[in-house]
Structure 1
Amino acid sequence: MEKPTIGERAFDALNAAFMVALCFLTLYPFLYVAFSSLSDPGLLSQHRGLLWKPYGLSLDAYRSVFANPNIISGYRNTLFYVTVGTCINLFMTALGAYFLSRRNVFFKNAVMFMIVVTMFFQGGLIPTFLLVSNLGLVDTPWAIIIPGAINTWNLIIMRTSFQAVPVSLEESAKIDGANEWTIMWRIILPLSIPVMAVMLLFYAVGHWNSWFSAMIYLRDRELYPLQLILREILITNSTDSMMTDASGVDKMPIGETIKYATIMVATIPILVLYPFLQKYFVKGVMIGALKE
């Protein structure tokens, strides 16, 4: 092997330094929020500039967050939306992708054209709300799950993955007497685990971070997801209900640490999911770039 030249070594060093700086810029905001949530409210309010460690370790903010019944109900509702919603998303997307990936299906191109059109032209918020209202879904959990059961882009990626399965496998299964359901569940889906894992991640993260649909369709606070509760805490500064034991002087700094703690509580669970799906992520995403 040839020794790298001075220019190549300099490029590698600059490239490594750039990547380290990029990782730091990406990671530091999360560390800042984590350190702030663990800091003493009084000491944190006096601090200015960068934060490299918690100032006076304190868990009071987390105690206040978990003592708030809205946070508990928001967690419960979000887990329901993520679990049930993601299952429905995967099932419906897999059905649509399987149909669109079959050969010699009548009107397949016309159906695919109508689906792709929805990526560029949509009815808008008011027609969507009227549709959801006429279906009787307003102020029900299904208003959050049903309207977004299939994402067009995810459908296209999954269809491309299904098309990559060799035709000979399907023909062999049909010779053995397998029907379409058997081919889908026992051949296509087991061979498409990477793309299914990526779709699971995309849909789960989407449900976890969703708040706008809940704000539009839900009136009952008992149905609010965690992100809508978080929005109220961060934007409307509604932290008074979590500071019942604080004096008037300490309410301001305690309110700030409560905001940071709430962000951490709402962020960490979905971050834990990614490492389990990381090995499928790159392979599954690249499937969408395969040539038909």
Structure 2
Amino acid sequence: MSRIRNHTTSDRIADAVIYSVLTLFGLITLFPLYYVFIMSVTPYSEVLRNGGFVLLPSTFTLEAFEAIFSSRTVPQALKVTIYVTALGTLLNLVVTTLLAYPLSKKHIPGRNAILMAIVFTMLFSGGLIPLYLVVRATGLMNTLWALIIPGLVSTFNMLIMKTYFENLPPEVEEAAKVDGCGDVQTLARIVLPLSAPIMATLGLFYGVGHWNAYFAGIMYLSDKKLYPIQVVLRNMIQTPNINQELAISNPMLLQTLPPETIKMATVVVAIIPVLVIYPFLQRFFIKGMLLGAIKG
């Protein structure tokens, strides 16, 4: 009995230590987000009074958010980012599914050669300059399609989806074919309804990638009306004149707000959608990754 009691006590101590360490790491990870949000809603006078570092402000203000949403740049950039993320993620999932489903069938002729060619792209790429030349030659420059088509399929995501399809019970598809369903009908009516976890997982991967992308916007876009929010945020960080970048309709707001506060508010606007959507997909996330990454 004493050995059992000692073992139980040691387990509780170990669990307490583990949870304490994980909680500490969690707080360290969340602190930058918390600090950015606090700085975006803290009056500038209080920031100066506390030496530029505030953990819990005594008063809150939304002037920084009023400033960025009264501009012509940030609302337009948000519209562009939402459009590219929604359409891009949808096309990513469609094309990835149409590629992964046939490759999950071992009887497809040339399957191994195609897989080897696709995996080869994970190890070696054509390079940035050839990609730029292809985008320019295909007429995608200075269009939103330049943010979508070049990254239409991720090899890593395709392999995860292929493995997920391989783990589905073959009896389900065989029963569908006995009932007269073709390959397309089987995919649409049987396979896709069973693939909600992997679709949500890869949709999150693709969506976050589109939302956070800025390099493609810098490379392929010159029209500021087409800039996504991340490109606008990058330009805000680099430019010394915030008003020139944002084109705020009420310049008086800039006289009471420092540039750093406006930048912090823009960062908050850029990260909130991802933080809001992720909890709804979290229940699919772990299941989709496990079933898609492990060959059973």
Alignment correspondent of 2:264? 260
| Amino acid paired to 1:262 | T
Residue of 9, 16, 19 corresponding to 2:19: 16
- Contact 1:41-1:256 at 8 Å conserved across structures: no
- Contact 2:47-2:54 at 8 Å conserved across structures: no
Q: 106-115 or 253-262: which moved more?
A: 253-262
- Check 1:238–1:195 CA distance in 2 against 1; reply closer, same or farther (3 A cut): farther
1:41 matched to 2:41? The reply is no
The alignment-based identity, stated in percent, is 39
Q: Secondary structure at the match of 1:118?
A: helix
Alignment correspondent of 1:150? 153
Residue of 119, 132, 135 corresponding to 1:132: 135
Alignment correspondent of 2:252? 245
1:291 matched to 2:295? The reply is yes
Q: 118-127 or 174-183: which moved more?
A: 174-183
Aligned equivalents of 1:9, 1:29: Cα separation in 2:
31
- Check 1:239–1:114 CA distance in 2 against 1; reply closer, same or farther (3 A cut): same
Aligned equivalents of 2:51, 2:142: Cα separation in 1:
44
Residue of 162, 167, 177 corresponding to 1:164: 167
- Contact 2:41-2:61 at 8 Å conserved across structures: yes
1:201 matched to 2:204? The reply is yes
Q: Secondary structure at the match of 1:189?
A: helix
- 5+ residue gaps, structure 1, are none
1:63 matched to 2:70? The reply is no
Aligned equivalents of 1:247, 1:135: Cα separation in 2:
42
- Check 1:39–1:55 CA distance in 2 against 1; reply closer, same or farther (3 A cut): farther
CA drift of 1:199 comes to 0.8
Aligned equivalents of 1:25, 1:185: Cα separation in 2:
44
- Contact 1:65-1:258 at 8 Å conserved across structures: yes
Alignment correspondent of 1:229? 232
Question: Could you report, residue by residue, the CA deviation over 1:79-99 in whole angstroms, capped at 9, with x for unpaired residues?
Answer: 110111011000000000011
TM-score normalised per structure 1: 0.94
Q: Secondary structure at the match of 2:151?
A: coil
Aligned equivalents of 1:102, 1:9: Cα separation in 2:
48
Aligned equivalents of 1:132, 1:194: Cα separation in 2:
33
RMSD: 1.8
Which has the larger share of helix? 2
Residue of 90, 98, 104 corresponding to 2:107: 104
- Check 1:238–1:281 CA distance in 2 against 1; reply closer, same or farther (3 A cut): farther
Aligned equivalents of 2:203, 2:272: Cα separation in 1:
18
CA drift of 1:46 comes to 3.8
| Amino acid paired to 2:261 | T
Question: Size of the alignment, in residue pairs?
Answer: 289
CA drift of 1:256 comes to 1.5
